[in-house]
């Protein structure tokens, strides 16, 4: 029930902002949904003995470390493993063994967020936080990662902003 409420809250949050374009709202809702599903999928099985592997890496946007964002690893076609993900802070991300990835091919989604300069109240009566909106990136092909059990899983993703 809590997971359903969290996802509903995420969608309501997109409507609450209201100032952003419909396309930006839809993109943000999609990433929040994917992030919620990734989070729920990490609840099953964890830690050593599960075959999960840690992953880490860097994300740049226009040649600079991405200040903040969200990275999601979704199993590619034919991979039955659960997905996972984490946050990107100052261009770096880490997925620990406890929430790690099983060996296989993954499709990678990166939600790039930028602060608008506005402060918003996410929860009525709660503290104000900086508003962050998604930034469109210009990637000609889907990002992918191959996780292995016998190697350090370090990935680099270099993004560019769309005009």
pLDDT at res. 137? 81
Structure tokens at 86: 């984490």
* Nearest-5° Cα angle at 145, 52 to 42: 35
Instruction: Answer whether 92's CB lies under 8 Å from 17's CB.
Output: no
Give percent of the chain above pLDDT 70: 67
Q: What pLDDT, in 10s, does the model give residues 52-86? A: 999 999 999 999 999 989 999 999 998 889 999 99
**Could you tell me the pLDDT band of residue 161, with boundaries at 50, 70 and 90?**
confident
Q: What pLDDT, in 10s, does the model give residues 96-114? A: 999 999 999 999 999 988 8
Q: What pLDDT, in 10s, does the model give residues 49-59? A: 678 999 999 99
Domain that holds residue 7: 2-159
pTM of the model: 0.64
**Could you tell me the pLDDT band of residue 17, with boundaries at 50, 70 and 90?**
very low
- Overall domain count for the chain: 1
CATH number of the domain where residue 140 is located? 2.60.40.10
Q: Strand pairing of 143-147 and 55-61?
A: unpaired
pLDDT at res. 28? 58
Q: How far, in Å, are 29, 42, 57, 119 from residue 1 at the CA level? A: 19, 17, 34, 30
Q: Which residue has the higher pLDDT, 1 or 115?
A: 115
Task: Please give the span between the terminal C-alpha atoms of the chain, in angstroms, as a whole number.
Answer: 40
Across the chain, mean pLDDT equals 77
| Cβ count near 83 (within 10 Å) | 21
């Amino acid at each position: 029930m809590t997971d359903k409420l969290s996802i509903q809250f995420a969608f309501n949050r997109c409507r609450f902002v209201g100032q952003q374009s419909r396309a930006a709202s839809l993109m943000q809702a999609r990433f929040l949904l994917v992030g919620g599903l990734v989070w729920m999928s990490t609840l099953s099985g964890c830690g050593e003995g599960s075959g999960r592997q840690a992953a880490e890496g860097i994300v740049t946007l226009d040649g600079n470390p991405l200040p903040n964002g969200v990275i999601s690893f979704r199993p590619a076609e034919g991979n039955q493993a659960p997905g996972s993900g984490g946050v990107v802070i100052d261009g770096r991300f880490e997925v620990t063994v406890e929430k790690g990835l099983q060996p296989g091919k993954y499709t990678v989604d990166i939600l790039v967020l930028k602060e608008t300069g506005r402060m918003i109240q996410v929860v009525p009566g709660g503290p104000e936080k900086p508003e962050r909106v998604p930034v469109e990136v210009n990637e000609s092909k889907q990002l992918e990662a191959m996780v292995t059990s016998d190697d350090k899983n370090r990935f680099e993703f270099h993004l560019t902003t769309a005009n």
